[in-house]
Every structure is written in C-alpha cells, then in structure tokens.
Structure 1
C-alpha cells in the first residue's frame, strides 16, 4: 500500500498515512484518462453557436435578373451562399455535444488520476483543515506552510463555506468536494491537497 506523509496546517509532518492500493496504487491508464478528459470538456460545451441559412437571412425574395440573355451566370436569389450577405451553406447550428462513457471507464480514470498524483509526489494529506473565519490571508498562509506555489486542488469531505470562501480568490486554487471530484480537475492542478477525512471518504466510495 502506498504510504504518504501526513501534515498539519503549519506544514509540519505529524506522521504517515497508508492509502488504499486499489485506488491510489493502480497502474496509470493514459488512454482512459484521455477519453474521460475529452468527454468532460465536450459535456461542458454549451452548443449555442448559430449561423443563418439562406432561408433565414433578410431579403432576396426576388430573382436578381432574368434567367437567360444577360451574359451573366444564372441566379435565383441575392441571399444564396455565394453572395455577400448571403446565407451560410454548412455552418454550425445549436446542438448538444454531450455523450456518455461507461461507469467502469470513469471510475478507472479517477483511480488512475489519483494514482498519478501519488507517483509524482504531488499529493498532500492534511490531518485537519479548518479556519475560525473567512480569511483569504489565513488560507494563503496555510498554502505557504505547505510550500504550495502552483495550481492546487483542495478536496474536502463535506461543504465548508469558511474554507471555500477563503480560497476562492487565490489564483490557481480550487476547492471541491469528494462527491464532485472529477478527473479533469485532478489533472489540471499541480498539487492535490486532501484532508484525512476526505481520503477516508474517497476510499469508502471508490474502493
């Protein structure tokens, strides 16, 4: 079982914690990680882009000139695609980009993402994370104690408004809950900061 250091909020190591091998010690599957990240980004797309066809643009109800005898190419409408201000022939229309993946694939990707953080020593486990009041300065101090100077994802076992609001204005720092943890957020942040209680909850849910 992988063993990582356990820290307190002052950045001092207070012990070690053993992580579940079936979640934090699996072989990293890059193919599955790629599939799940692409799926996540596709599902975030709004799909509201829209272009007007020749039936939707204004004007063009009359034939611009007679069919024969002018020496020019025959035209039926000044709003055909080849005309300036004409309709778009094959432009995008509103649609959904959503598609689903198997639950087993998503679960394997999450385990691979968590295991990659352990392999790269980018996981920081805290014995506790709590603040008396909403203070961004106090959260910055905690991160400085942990020597975190890059993008960081803070994972909480349950909603804590004080921690969430104290961290939300710090550039590159994101807070999330175990229940909303996703592969994209894990991979998109350099450091994975998780409390001991959150680790227990992750192991309970995904073991």
Structure 2
C-alpha cells in the first residue's frame, strides 16, 4: 500500500510527534482567547486530529483512526496539559514550535495523500485530501475560536501552498510507483523547506490582480 511509507513503529512516532505539535498550537490559541481548560482541550484535539478525521470520513475509513488509536486521541490532551501549566515557556519557544509544525505539515500532506490513493481516489482528489489532512485541523481551530482561518488570510505567510506542493509530489511519486521511505521523506522535506522559507521571508500568496486600483476602500 502507498500509505505504508515508513516502518509502522517509525510512522507511529512521526504521527504522534506531529499531532503533539499541532495540538500545542491549538492550545496556545485557546490561551490567547482566554478559554478555560476544556476549551484548550477542544482546540488541541480539533487542531491535531481534525484534518485526519475529515479525510477518513470522506474516504470511508471509519471509525477514523483518531478514535481507534488511543495514543492519537490522548496526545493532544497531553499537549493541552503542558500548555495549561507552561504556556509562557511554550510561547517563548514559538519559533521551535513553528519549525516542528512545518515538519508536521509536510508529513501529514504526504501521508494523507498516500492514504487517499489507497482508498481508490484519483490524483486530484488524493492531493486535495492530502491538503485537508495537513491544514484541516487548523481551519477547524480558527473557526472554533471565531477567527478567519489563517490559510485564507493574505497577511499570513504561505501555509497551504507548501502542503499542496508536498501532496502533489507524493501523487506524482505514486503515479510513477516510486513512493517509498526515501522519496516520501524528500516530499515531506520539500514542503517543510517551503514553509520555513515562507516564515523567514514572510512569503505570501498574491491577491487579486489590480485589486489596489479597483477596490481601494477595502482593508
């Protein structure tokens, strides 16, 4: 199967690590929004697992792995606990959190695309679900916190584009029957690298052409 890119134990560790870091970002937003401990737990779970749950529901992999793997479900609660007690310290290492988040973004884009392909989806649909796996949790997080999702905001550095690139490379590798641990890691690192460049240079997607001359009254 294409989705079995890494050895099972390695994939488990990578998945749990990505889930933990995504959950940290959800918990930190809850702190900024002055949510209570339950709200922190909800945002942690939604951010870490939301994209994978949406993917699994769409492809019919039910119940979603988030609910059948106890480690996946409990890891966001651990992250929320860490932030509950240590949020000033976690905030101070935000750059490290962003770096790990970028790595998780690339990993989930790759594994999400591969899993969608295993369930019979075509190239375009598999790439779309790879993207959803990577960024869906963040969208749910922002909506629950009553914010415009970060990946839709022009004033935020590229987030969805790196995930799309990683998913697209994965789909191409599958098409050429060349997806394995080495090439899957390479696809993950390409997405990670673009996200890090976007953070460092504040790269953004372009807005509508000639927008400034025709819609000057908008913010």
Normalising TM by the smaller chain, what interval?
under 0.3
TM-score, normalised relative to structure 2: 0.25
Q: Compare the two structures and name the one with the higher helix fraction.
A: 2
Q: Compare the two structures and name the one with the higher strand fraction.
A: 1
For the pair shown, which has the larger CA radius of gyration, 1 or 2?
Answer: 1
